[in-house]
Structure 1
């Protein structure tokens, strides 16, 4: 047996894995560029990767549902000595097999220098040889048939010698490790792709899949929903451009379809469909989930469209999909189109998880970066570094945004030398929906008068946009005390509460006079307000906020007023660094006070807002790019590296369970419904976590048994997680 519960014979598992390999071989012909006989090396890696499971110890333990306590891949590796090929090829196959479950620095590799480890290996070899008749009489005779099935001919490079049992006992692991240390840089690409694709074939076959999926012909799918004669000029142009592309267009123009049509023009097609992997990259989970739903409308099957972010498993669960199966498959080379965050791709470059598998999938891939303007300088630097490395692997990229500052555009132009597409000014201006109105002072001074004004003029539901959670809570309480129907929305609600609030808004927006929200409103709500009163922010962020007002107004040539305050709060300088860009943005908008915000002007206005700090930001982006490149160049295949810890330190915030839900979370975990704990998690950036610890002391504790962080802070369904210690007795 290769697997237990359910049982799977070793020959069946090998056969299934070879089926996956055959589908990858057809779908990804460019893999042959790595090495002329790459597919042969992968074939023999798959053939031998589980042969160590023949050990009677493994079979007995598995039949009883127990853990064997020894790594079967160590025994499998020893069989590579009987391959009739040059030493480097034998070693490449051996290393792929040896590390297909664990990295080299996590494995007790039996070197003769460590007597105890070596003696343990010899004992396990004896257990293996008890089933030598299976190897000789059942497994070996099948090999020629598998070779014919995959290659159309016998190759005959694996032959057991007469003294093979002695050879297994004498395998030179020291020599293999020494060869790796001397040669890993020279054979870096072969090692990455051999291990990556062995993992892909092994994991998919173990999951019951026999092939990777291909996307149907993209232009035909789009034409089914939008007839070709109705495609906009930009969409038609995108469908003609081969190579990298930089695309600017206003919200509502149809950038998503333009991106898909660009992917169609740059894809490799087989008779069955498009075989390149396509990654549609967005900065926020809410916009990713919405785009996943949209892509499913086009391509219908969740096997063709995947979603991947830190809480995508819960999103699938809540959407009534087969969340366990799909979450697992979306992390493998299975789904042809993935909607994801940049962090999921970055993981591979930082050596996180089965990074070789992701790097293998990225060769010849098509990357679509939507809302590229939304990233901090450190993320932009890392994205540029990734694209620089992927250029060598013929990966193509589409960069698109409605509000991309010129200096960031120039960085991508310098790296990618892309074609540029933007719509003519007169076309862009047809999407104009907003008139700017500047309001002197801060929100405290103006809130009551504007609330009355909006109500009197029938401009509700209106959006009140704040820069900090604390300010949003203050504004919410004040409006509530004045008797208005108000909803509060910010990032410090539990995921479940937030989902509930957004669902209420979509269902009954007119049931509210005001929605008070922080930056979450810039990305998460596909609803349309009558108007907005917003605290000052960088111009690109303000334009995103305006985008929640009069969303379809361009269709009826209707213009809505958007009100921007000149003053924020003291804490805003911690939110927007450097704050100069906010001051410059307000100065620009003052010059437009009372005028329509023409869509054609937006790119230049955003560039102007950043003009005084652009050299500072470019320097910062460049520093992060160079640091990332150094890290990526040092990435060692088959080994877990320090950069994995660096990745989590850089990007992962914390998710905490407010103490009032601790009992509920523990009960869910104990009853096997741990996935539902996600509903009770509140995301906290590290800076906020440390600020709260400094203020209140040890208010967070880690429940090791259930692997959750509990926050001893007050929580209200109305206002979210508060900066107040919870002193209620018996709350847990």
Structure 2
């Protein structure tokens, strides 16, 4: 290798030679191919060229960094080159690839690994589509010809050593700019018209594979190539159970025998999580046999706190927490909390923050083969483009365990069903685990998925009842209700109170906390650091298997699946039946005591601010709540049988409202498919869909006005990313629609809210904004 080529840079901070980066990116693509394996329909579309195209594109993607303008920019001689290196990279391809169909796929991967062809930030078609040959040459040259020829030879040798299909003859001269313009023109012609769904999806997979290989290379990272929830998982679990004096239950063994999609209906405390993991292990082993890859296992849950707890649980079960990745947007904060001890000083915290940033970055680069997160993090891949397409290729040939889907929300359920159909198309298998799985939900999954869906149900025969139902016609916040709760606290019991919104929860806490020495309030409007501390202390005092202790927890619906806790009794506002059954599951959790009281109070119904239909306490649509209440009235004062509870759900979803719900779910499934999963124009920017997606699934966050200075100070602590991570301790989650209640602080890159706040109560009254009639705690 000549000095000229050896001195060509790919990156400047830290310096990395061009050939080293290209070689590492090829290695990343080869590793990705080994991990993902063969995707059957993809080979049909590309004629078996897919992985060859990915690897060649990865090898050549940054070859276009040799022009003087780009090298001078890396060396600090000019501020910016102002052109796109991936465009120049196209000029190397005709000298390496003679198969025209393969050439187009390789060119597609090279051209789109940073920018969209059309739309979005800096689209390539706008920058280069109408430029003449003379303009191309004047903008992109000079290109050192001797380096271009030598680099072409190096690319050919490297590709040949990797077993990739390239031409046997490497040209002695290379017109890089002329060839780049020709290939780019052919590329635009190829993707100008709408393409069939399968071809568009393959294009997204290709873009995602090249982008992911590039990211792994740039981070000097590696991809895990072993699936711990695979063939060896069942013996490991049986060993763990034996140490506790337990054996696998029949429904767990049956789940492990299923080969295909699964619906697992099992009561809380019956081991449905282990059943789901046993099923996942079987599927992972079969997918490996079929594709030669290493399937990823995605375990999804609806709430942040439950994600963290499941990651810890899986890491402990597998004997190595580095095998489990956390997918929620606050992954770095979670790892930071695990790394920092309360007695650490500022310097130690900065070091821990840097480590946490690295771990979170590795997770974002798809390193671990076991992931815990929300369904929406995986769904985000449908936004495609360089920023999201890697999520789609990562989902191929994978296993998805969806725990506790909320069926009563037809829109989100419809979107998840659409995604499940995509995952199946990509060679994946899907399981739904639920203590409250209605037959209507099972019917929906069978209708949407093409392959068999098997239902496994845990037997409740001989299971002693855990709960005794009581109904109250007055609201949870009424004086009569508060008096009853106080009497239970005075009797030395541990009491869980669940309100439907933050305002009610805060009001109840203010009334009840003074009558007991131990009281906690938990909802979603706390600063991150305060909520983490609350969850930890609540788990330590009221966790399953711990000695019985008196005390009070007032919470919102975040408690339904977020904490593994066990109380003596429950007082709750009326909600959809599924939500209520989840709340019941926090009481007498493993059935070790006589039936415990679960008391349901009537909800208050009213339209939201904009009018229209009525909602229970501003949260749940009235029909679903009314149906559940009507059913519960027939069982007031009786013990709750787990089998009967499932029949109650079937009655709800078998009603006229249930048929409307069913139709709504399918409508939203079709809506999501048409809006996000068509991929007719795979390289047109989807920026306009990003905001729509965020409104559906994500909220915003804000820092208190009083914390602004501390937030800014943390931002400047040590490493930039580590400082931002430390600052995130002060952020308070808020819904997307609440952005007008805040002020955008451009300099700090954060929203600021002027509001009352208390470490025990969370977010209070918001001041000085347009919503003058905002009430404390109203944010849901």
Q: TM-score if structure 1 supplies the norm length?
A: 0.89
- Report whether the alignment pairs 1:59 with 2:68: no
- Report whether the alignment pairs 1:476 with 2:509: yes
Q: Given the superposition, is the C-alpha separation of residues 718 and 137 from structure 1 closer, same or farther in structure 2, using an over 3 Å criterion? A: closer
Q: Given the superposition, is the C-alpha separation of residues 124 and 114 from structure 1 closer, same or farther in structure 2, using an over 3 Å criterion? A: closer
Question: What residue number does 1:650 align with?
Answer: 696
Q: Given the superposition, is the C-alpha separation of residues 48 and 568 from structure 1 closer, same or farther in structure 2, using an over 3 Å criterion? A: same
Q: Given the superposition, is the C-alpha separation of residues 84 and 581 from structure 1 closer, same or farther in structure 2, using an over 3 Å criterion? A: closer
CA contact (8 A) 1:100 1:195 kept: yes
CA contact (8 A) 2:95 2:167 kept: no
Q: Distance in 2 between matches of 1:567 and 1:5?
A: 59
For residue 585 of structure 1, the aligned residue among 604, 620, 628 is 628
CA-to-aligned-CA distance 1:546-595 (integer Å, 9 cap, x gap): 2222223x2x3532222222454758625344313223323322322232
CA-to-aligned-CA distance 1:119-164 (integer Å, 9 cap, x gap): 5642354332x2x32333365146335423345xx74357335353
Q: Given the superposition, is the C-alpha separation of residues 252 and 141 from structure 1 closer, same or farther in structure 2, using an over 3 Å criterion? A: same
Question: What residue number does 1:711 align with?
Answer: 753
CA contact (8 A) 2:757 2:764 kept: yes
CA-to-aligned-CA distance 1:231-275 (integer Å, 9 cap, x gap): 222222122211111111111222222112212222233799971
| Paired residues for 1:364-383 under 5 Å | 364-373=397-406, 376-383=409-416
Deviation of 1:681 (Å): 1.6
For residue 630 of structure 1, the aligned residue among 658, 670, 674 is 674
- Report whether the alignment pairs 1:549 with 2:587: yes
| Paired residues for 1:236-635 under 5 Å | 236-267=253-284, 268-269=287-288, 275-320=294-339, 322-351=355-384, 354-373=387-406, 376-416=409-449, 417-426=452-461, 429-430=463-464, 432-443=465-476, 444-459=478-493, 461-482=494-515, 485-508=518-541, 513-552=551-590, 554=591, 556-568=592-604, 573=616, 575-612=618-655, 613-635=657-679
Q: Distance in 2 between matches of 1:563 and 1:219?
A: 45
CA contact (8 A) 2:90 2:179 kept: no
- Report whether the alignment pairs 1:666 with 2:712: yes
Q: Given the superposition, is the C-alpha separation of residues 352 and 663 from structure 1 closer, same or farther in structure 2, using an over 3 Å criterion? A: farther
Q: Given the superposition, is the C-alpha separation of residues 710 and 169 from structure 1 closer, same or farther in structure 2, using an over 3 Å criterion? A: closer
Matched residue of 2:588: which SS? coil
Question: What residue number does 1:127 align with?
Answer: 142
Q: Distance in 2 between matches of 1:487 and 1:175?
A: 64
Q: Distance in 2 between matches of 1:609 and 1:103?
A: 47
Deviation of 1:482 (Å): 4.9
Q: Distance in 2 between matches of 1:96 and 1:191?
A: 8
Matched residue of 1:404: which SS? coil
| Paired residues for 1:123-202 under 5 Å | 123-128=138-143, 130=144, 132-137=145-150, 140-141=153-154, 143-150=156-163, 155-156=166-167, 159-160=170-171, 162=173, 164=175, 167-168=178-179, 171=182, 173-182=184-193, 184-185=195-196, 187-202=199-214
CA contact (8 A) 1:125 1:169 kept: no
CA-to-aligned-CA distance 1:281-337 (integer Å, 9 cap, x gap): 211111111111112123344553211112122112222273323322323343212
Q: Given the superposition, is the C-alpha separation of residues 607 and 157 from structure 1 closer, same or farther in structure 2, using an over 3 Å criterion? A: farther
Q: Distance in 2 between matches of 1:713 and 1:55?
A: 54
Q: Which runs of 5+ in 1 are unaligned?
A: 694-698, 728-732
Q: Distance in 2 between matches of 1:313 and 1:207?
A: 16
CA contact (8 A) 1:62 1:68 kept: no
Q: Distance in 2 between matches of 1:145 and 1:298?
A: 42
Matched residue of 2:436: which SS? coil
Q: Distance in 2 between matches of 1:368 and 1:462?
A: 32
CA-to-aligned-CA distance 1:71-130 (integer Å, 9 cap, x gap): 211110122232442433222211211111111123345547346xx65642354332x2
Q: Distance in 2 between matches of 1:726 and 1:567?
A: 31
Matched residue of 2:14: which SS? coil
Deviation of 1:374 (Å): 5.6
Q: Given the superposition, is the C-alpha separation of residues 440 and 352 from structure 1 closer, same or farther in structure 2, using an over 3 Å criterion? A: farther
Q: Distance in 2 between matches of 1:685 and 1:2?
A: 41
Matched residue of 1:479: which SS? helix
Question: What residue number does 2:82 align with?
Answer: 69
Moved more, 94-103 or 628-637: 628-637
The alignment of Structure 1 onto Structure 2 pairs a total of residues equal to 708
How big is the alpha-carbon RMSD for the aligned residues of Structure 1 and Structure 2?
2.9
Q: Distance in 1 between matches of 2:15 and 2:632?
A: 68
Deviation of 1:463 (Å): 1.3
Q: Given the superposition, is the C-alpha separation of residues 88 and 711 from structure 1 closer, same or farther in structure 2, using an over 3 Å criterion? A: same
CA contact (8 A) 1:308 1:340 kept: yes
Q: Given the superposition, is the C-alpha separation of residues 13 and 184 from structure 1 closer, same or farther in structure 2, using an over 3 Å criterion? A: farther
Deviation of 1:476 (Å): 1.6
CA-to-aligned-CA distance 1:200-239 (integer Å, 9 cap, x gap): 2211122113554321363423422423882222222122
For residue 220 of structure 1, the aligned residue among 232, 238, 249 is 232
- Report whether the alignment pairs 1:12 with 2:58: no
Q: Which runs of 5+ in 2 are unaligned?
A: 1-8, 340-351, 543-547, 608-614, 770-780
Question: What residue number does 2:31 align with?
Answer: 23
Q: Distance in 2 between matches of 1:11 and 1:670?
A: 35
Question: What residue number does 1:696 align with?
Answer: none
Moved more, 542-551 or 63-72: 63-72
Q: Distance in 2 between matches of 1:273 and 1:548?
A: 42
Matched residue of 1:319: which SS? helix
Moved more, 540-549 or 269-278: 269-278
Q: Given the superposition, is the C-alpha separation of residues 145 and 403 from structure 1 closer, same or farther in structure 2, using an over 3 Å criterion? A: same
- Report whether the alignment pairs 1:107 with 2:123: yes
Question: What residue number does 1:730 align with?
Answer: none
Q: TM-score if structure 2 supplies the norm length?
A: 0.84
- Report whether the alignment pairs 1:702 with 2:744: yes
